[in-house]
Amino acid sequence: MLTPKEPFEGQILPLCNSRDLQDSAEAVPFDVIYGGQTCLAFAVRYAGTVYAYLNRCSHVPMEMDYQPNRFFDITGHWLICSTHGAMYSPRTGACHGGPCRGGLIRIATSERDGVVHWHTAPNLQPVNF
Ligand code: FES
């Protein structure tokens, strides 16, 4: 007999201060458990809004920033992987060019009272120390 699944109770966790993220500037890194594994993630601000993704290129699952926390290309409009140049939309994580095999894995965020938060999901959990 089928039993209804427990509803997922998400958490909203503080990530950084709003002022730590400037438009098209350096990212703030954070750790998550994705699919049971500890993974790096990052948050950026683009055109005033904060977005967060796993720091994992869709071409080869490796970190994208050659210089720590630098993901934007020279135009400030695209997130670029330093290894082979895959480019992603900062708004959606969708592939914009280069050798992408899909898009980036998005992490929901929100901003309130000068603090940026990230939202857990069934496959995205906080790292517990
Ligand atoms: S690993 Fe990112 S473009 Fe190849």
Residue 79 is assigned to a structural domain of this protein: yes
Summarised one tens digit per residue, pLDDT across range 68-113 is 999 999 999 999 999 999 999 999 999 999 999 999 999 999 999 9
Of all atoms in ligand 1, which is nearest to the CA of residue 84?
3
Q: Quick one: which of 12, 44, 36 has its CA closest to 120? A: 12
Residue 110 is assigned to a structural domain of this protein: yes
Residue 7 is predicted with a pLDDT of: 67
Residue 77 is assigned to a structural domain of this protein: yes
Residue 4 is assigned to a structural domain of this protein: no
Q: Distance, CA 118 to ligand 1 centroid (Å)?
A: 25
Neighbours of 40 (CB within 10 A): 15
Residue 31 is predicted with a pLDDT of: 98
Residue 7 is assigned to a structural domain of this protein: no
Summarised one tens digit per residue, pLDDT across range 17-39 is 999 999 999 999 999 999 999 99
Considering the entire predicted model, what is its pTM? 0.93
CB-based contact 43:54 (threshold 8 Å) = no
The residue nearest atom 4 of ligand 1, judged by CA position, is 84
Residue 2 is assigned to a structural domain of this protein: no
Residue 6 is assigned to a structural domain of this protein: no
| Domain CATH for 118 | 2.102.10.10
Residue 1 is assigned to a structural domain of this protein: no
The residue nearest atom 3 of ligand 1, judged by CA position, is 84
Domain that includes residue 76, residue range: 12-123
Q: Distance, CA 113 to ligand 1 centroid (Å)?
A: 36
Grouping H, G, I as helix, E, B as strand and the rest as coil, residue 29 is strand
Please name every residue paired with 109 in a beta bridge, in sequence order, or none if there are none. Answer: 118
Please state the domain count of the chain: 1
